[in-house]
């Protein structure tokens, strides 16, 4: 298939390029910063396109993209232009006033999705939090459920605030943070019987299922695409019962799957969906987009100080327009195909270590077999030594989420690095 010429790599401004590498002291960092992350021993200080450089000047191919976030890679001219323009013009005012950039971004999003209206916040967790609040208010005021229950899937990921970590049905993220938020119930992903059972069993007294919050493709849970038949039946169940269907598009949305929204792969539309990661290309922004039920929230019922400010919305709008103008979704499909083909070829050489390669567009996972002792973090470490940044999605899945502007040559280089990394860790 013919593809629009890949986006030109951003040129590095010379003044940045010539800054001497600052020696980095991890010990002093760790004494000042809370230890909420286990970090790889490298400090990144600049980037251009799909490449980043550490403080020692070493170059890496970035197939993490801030975890599926840097849509246009690093220092993309369109983003540099938008950031510069917006900071010079107006960067923050309160939602007490109309913010034109917010309106323009909302218009773009509803014109390019099934949604009718948007609410803006600053992260994926907050977008999901907004959706949970909207669903609860809808349940109380329209469905007349006193104790609404929200179904979420095992191995899901919805964020780290108390409500969203409760929605995230993974014990490792919840341990020590109880009491969790009431009103959630977990079901198996891609298992329609589990949904049917939960909907009928959880209908007692004042308790009833009000919403289902689910990812079209589970990202953190191991890059597991949703099953078409499952999602279509899910839609039917929601239509029959009035249950709200909420899609968490935080990781898979904004073009990463090769389509603008993950739900387009499933042939169903949600009632509400959330976006964040790729939406701002690395600028913190989240959005909840609602199809119908747009007037559930009344003035004063939900808010965010930073949400939808001129800066983030101006930049996010430039990301959206660049996706369109530069035909980036075509690149996502072609590069995703190339990546999966290459990974499958590598998998054939390592049948004892690699179980499966799967994904959509440029969100892909390589699952290691249950038989091997090898773990995803070990593969990731070996890849870093080969100059390739990757990220695990759980203990056994290596995730590939490069910027959406990745070139054919870069995918080829990445595949060579994966092959070398595997050779190292399997001997």
Ligand X SMILES: *Cc1c(COP(=O)(O)O)cnc(C)c1O
Residue 254 vs 379, nearer CB to ligand X: 254
Among 6, 47, 66, 124, contact with ligand X (rule: CB under 6 A) = 124
Tokens of 348: 């054939």
Compute the least distance from the CB of residue 82 to ligand X, in Å.
20
Tokens of 38: 């286990």
Taking CB under 6 A as the rule, does residue 326 contact ligand X?
A: no
HSE of 216, CA atoms in CB hemisphere, 13 A: 32
Residue 51 vs 358, nearer CB to ligand X: 358
User: Any idea which residue has 């800066």 for tokens?
Assistant: 311
Residue 12 vs 67, nearer CB to ligand X: 67
- Return all residues near 293 (Cβ < 8 A) that are at least 6 apart: 134, 138, 142, 244, 271, 272
Taking CB under 6 A as the rule, does residue 220 contact ligand X?
A: yes
Among 115, 148, 216, 219, contact with ligand X (rule: CB under 6 A) = 219
Size of the site for ligand X (CB under 6 A): 15
Taking CB under 6 A as the rule, does residue 399 contact ligand X?
A: no
Q: Are 400 and 408 in contact (CB under 8 A)?
A: no
Separation between Cα atoms, residue 356 and residue 370, nearest integer Å: 11
The residue with its CB nearest to ligand X is 124
Tokens of 48: 């251009």
Cα dihedral sign for 386, 3, 363, 372?
negative
Q: Are 131 and 246 in contact (CB under 8 A)?
A: yes
Residue 153 vs 339, nearer CB to ligand X: 153
Separation between Cα atoms, residue 178 and residue 161, nearest integer Å: 12
If DSSP codes are grouped into helix, strand and coil, which group holds residue 424?
helix
Q: Which stretch binds ligand X (CB under 6 A): 77-85, 243-251, 320-328, 379-387?
A: 243-251
Taking CB under 6 A as the rule, does residue 250 contact ligand X?
A: yes
Q: Which stretch binds ligand X (CB under 6 A): 20-28, 124-132, 299-307, 402-410?
A: 124-132
Compute the least distance from the CB of residue 221 to ligand X, in Å.
9
Q: Are 365 and 397 in contact (CB under 8 A)?
A: yes
241 membership: H or E segment, kind and range:
helix 228-241
Residue 276 vs 388, nearer CB to ligand X: 276
Separation between Cα atoms, residue 396 and residue 399, nearest integer Å: 10
Compute the least distance from the CB of residue 31 to ligand X, in Å.
25
Taking CB under 6 A as the rule, does residue 276 contact ligand X?
A: yes
Compute the least distance from the CB of residue 126 to ligand X, in Å.
7
Taking CB under 6 A as the rule, does residue 392 contact ligand X?
A: no
Residue 262 vs 342, nearer CB to ligand X: 262
Residue 10 vs 132, nearer CB to ligand X: 132
Residues numbered 31-50 forming contacts with ligand X, rule: CB under 6 A: none
Residue 145 vs 376, nearer CB to ligand X: 376
Residue 309 vs 407, nearer CB to ligand X: 309
Q: Are 249 and 266 in contact (CB under 8 A)?
A: no
Residue 276 vs 405, nearer CB to ligand X: 276
Q: Which stretch binds ligand X (CB under 6 A): 117-125, 186-194, 205-213, 315-323?
A: 117-125
User: Any idea which residue has 């101006």 for tokens?
Assistant: 314
Q: Are 379 and 421 in contact (CB under 8 A)?
A: yes
Among 62, 101, 215, 410, contact with ligand X (rule: CB under 6 A) = 215
Q: Which residues of 228-243 are buried (b: 16+ CB within 10 A; e: fewer)?
A: eebbebbbebbeeeeb
Strand 147-153 to 207-214 pairing: parallel
Taking CB under 6 A as the rule, does residue 224 contact ligand X?
A: no
Compute the least distance from the CB of residue 277 to ligand X, in Å.
6
Taking CB under 6 A as the rule, does residue 248 contact ligand X?
A: yes
Separation between Cα atoms, residue 135 and residue 117, nearest integer Å: 15
Residues numbered 152-181 forming contacts with ligand X, rule: CB under 6 A: 157-159
Compute the least distance from the CB of residue 303 to ligand X, in Å.
17
DSSP code per residue over 293-344: -TTSS-TTSS--SSTT-HHHHHHHHHHHHHHHHTTHHHHHHHHHHHHHHHHH
Among 251, 257, 290, 364, contact with ligand X (rule: CB under 6 A) = 251
Among 70, 75, 118, 125, contact with ligand X (rule: CB under 6 A) = 125
- Residue numbers of the site for ligand X (CB under 6 A)? 123-125, 128, 157-159, 215, 219-220, 248, 250-251, 276-277
């Amino acid at each position: 298939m013919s593809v629009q010429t890949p986006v030109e790599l951003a040129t590095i401004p010379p003044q940045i390029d010539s800054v001497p590498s600052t020696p980095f002291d991890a010990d002093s960092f760790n004494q000042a910063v809370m230890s909420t992350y286990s970090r790889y021993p490298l400090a990144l200080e600049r980037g251009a396109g799909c490449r980043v450089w550490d403080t020692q000047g070493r170059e890496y191919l970035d197939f993490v993209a801030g975890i599926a976030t840097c849509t246009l890679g690093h220092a993309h001219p369109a983003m540099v232009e938008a950031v510069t323009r917006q900071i010079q013009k107006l960067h923050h005012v309160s939602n007490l006033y109309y913010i034109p950039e917010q309106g323009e971004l909302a218009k773009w999003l509803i014109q390019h999705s099934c949604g009718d209206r948007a609410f803006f916040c600053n992260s994926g967790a907050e977008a999901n939090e907004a959706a949970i609040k909207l669903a609860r208010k809808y349940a109380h005021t329209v469905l007349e459920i006193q104790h609404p229950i929200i179904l979420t899937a095992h191995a899901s990921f919805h964020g780290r605030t108390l409500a969203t970590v409760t929605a995230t049905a993974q014990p490792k993220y919840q341990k020590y943070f109880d009491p969790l938020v009431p009103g959630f119930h977990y079901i198996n992903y891609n298992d329609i019987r589990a949904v049917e059972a939960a909907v009928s069993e959880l209908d007692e007294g004042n308790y009833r299922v009000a919403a289902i919050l689910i990812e079209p493709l589970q990202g953190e849970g191991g890059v597991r695409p949703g099953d078409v038949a499952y999602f279509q039946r899910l839609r039917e169940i929601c239509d029959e019962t009035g249950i709200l269907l909420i899609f968490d598009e935080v990781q898979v949305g904004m073009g990463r799957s090769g389509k603008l929204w993950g739900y387009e792969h499933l042939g169903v539309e949600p009632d509400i969906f959330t976006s964040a990661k790729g939406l701002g290309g690395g600028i913190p922004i989240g959005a909840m987009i609602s199809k119908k039920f747009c007037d559930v929230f009344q003035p004063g019922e939900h808010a965010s100080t930073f949400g939808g400010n001129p800066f983030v919305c101006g930049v996010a709008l430039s990301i959206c327009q660049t996706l369109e103008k530069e035909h980036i979704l075509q690149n996502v499909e072609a590069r995703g195909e190339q990546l999966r083909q290459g990974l499958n070829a590598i998998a054939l050489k390592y049948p004892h270590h690699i179980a499966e390669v799967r994904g959509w567009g440029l969100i892909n996972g390589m699952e290691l077999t249950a038989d091997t002792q090898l773990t995803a973090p070990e593969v990731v470490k070996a890849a870093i030594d080969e100059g390739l940044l990757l990220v695990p999605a759980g203990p056994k899945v290596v995730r590939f989420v490069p910027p959406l502007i990745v070139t054919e040559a870069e995918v080829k280089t990445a595949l060579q690095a994966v092959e070398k990394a595997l050779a190292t860790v399997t001997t």
